[in-house]
Amino acid sequence: MGSLRFLSGFSVLFLCSCPGISAISQTSPAQEDLQLGRQLQAIAQAHRGQVAVYAQNLKTGQTASLDADEPVQTASVIKLGILLDAAEQVRARTAKLDEKLVLTKDNQVPGSGVLAQLDTPLALTLHDALTLMVIVSDNTATNMAIDRLGLAHIDDTLRAAGLKQTWLYKKVYKPAQGPMPPDQPKFGLGKTTAREMATVMERLAECRLDLKDGPPQPADGPVCGATLLMLRAQQDRDSLPRYIESLDTSEHGSAIGDKIGALDRVRNDVALISTKNGPVVISAFTWNNVDQRWTGDNEAEQTLGKIGKAIVDRWSPGGLDAAGFDWENPLAGAAAAPRQ
């Protein structure tokens, strides 16, 4: 079990003079919520496995963490990094969401998703592939996106975003190619930390697509919105959303956009949650889990649900507010309100 570490978080925020776009400004340093940290520690101690968490309220700057800088297996959560790179390339006009990709038999791999069961060749758009990669964690769609964007380019984007412990090592269910870091066999598909993966979600939520942290441009908002709408449509609701949102999100707009990742002994979830007290990012990882069942009552998924509920109850007793965040254009919505 990891020891409790209350680590101060940061969020590099921006000022924007673009007409019609509110500015985000950091008016006070991030505040560590020690009481919430103790709650997270108690939840982790009750879990039969290891837990790492980093959470931040993007409106108030409050943070809470538990072993937030411990390197962990990403499983499919690394697909959030692929999504960030796709947004960067669309912004740079080196890729288009409506460009055509072709599904080939070579990229059809097992695991989560639906494309492995379809006939090839099949034409999809980049938007289609990214959407399937997120909402059903489609591994075949992921490989299509990696082929189009470039594995090296994805990792270069993560480096440029200031992430030192976050890597996509290879395509899904494909062997690693070329020289690999010595820790690749340990981490498999990818490596990260709870804090660093929270940074990826924060960039999308705050629409900070300029990797040099320049001010956003008006055209950036819909690009970020396209990625956030994918995350909002993510269909597995058994982890962080478990105890805080019970509506049918396929028919009603969810207050949560997230990306999960799972292996036999791993359950992860990174979420942007629109609450009545501002948008909250939660990045939570569990590993070395005793319970390896692939069922909805898996202990680690329940633990993640308890983490999500503890954070939302503490920071937003009034609960969620799906309409409080502009999912289609975060530059125009609640996330762009000045911090208090």
Strand-pair partners of 254: none
- What pLDDT, on the 0 to 100 scale, is given for residue 327? 97
What is the mean predicted confidence (pLDDT) over 70-99? Answer: 98
> Is residue 241 pLDDT above 60, yes or no?
yes
Residue 251 confidence (pLDDT): 84
**Average of pLDDT values for 123-149?**
98
Give the rounded percent of residues in the chain with a pLDDT score beyond 70: 89
Please tell me whether the peptide bond between 121 and the residue prior to it is cis, using omega within 30 degrees of 0: yes
Please tell me the distance from the alpha carbon of residue 192 to that of residue 70, in angstroms, as a whole number.
8
Residue 64, Cβ density class (10 Å: 0-12 exposed, 13-18 middle, ≥19 buried)? buried
pLDDT band at 30 (very low <50, low <70, confident <90, very high): low
Mean pLDDT of 142-167: 98
Q: What pLDDT is attached to residue 159? A: 97
CA distance 296 to 283: 20
Label residue 170 by pLDDT band (50, 70, 90): very high
Mean pLDDT value of segment 99-108: 94
The answer on pLDDT for 127 being more than 60 is yes
Q: What's the pLDDT at 194?
A: 98
Q: What is the pLDDT of residues 254-306, one digit of tens each?
A: 999 999 999 999 999 999 999 999 999 999 999 999 999 999 999 999 999 99
Which is nearest to 6 in space by CA: 70, 61, 51, 64?
64
Asked if 102 and 142 count as a contact pair (C-beta separation under 8 A), the reply is no
pLDDT in the model for residue 9 = 34
Q: Which 3 state secondary structure label does DSSP give 339?
A: coil
DSSP per residue over 131-186, as a string? Answer: HHHHHS--HHHHHHHHHHH-HHHHHHHHHHTT-SS-EE-S-TTS---SS--TTHHH
Condensed to tens digits (0 to 9), the pLDDT of residues 59-74 reads: 999 999 999 999 999 9
Query: Residue 11: pLDDT above 70?
Result: no
Domains contained in the chain, CATH given: 31-90+190-336 (3.40.710.10)
- Would you give the distance in Å from CA 313 to the centre of its chain? 21
Q: What is the pTM of this model?
A: 0.89
- Name the pairing type of β-strands 256-263 and 266-275: antiparallel
The pLDDT, as a whole number, for residue 333 is: 59
Q: Rounded mean pLDDT of the chain?
A: 90
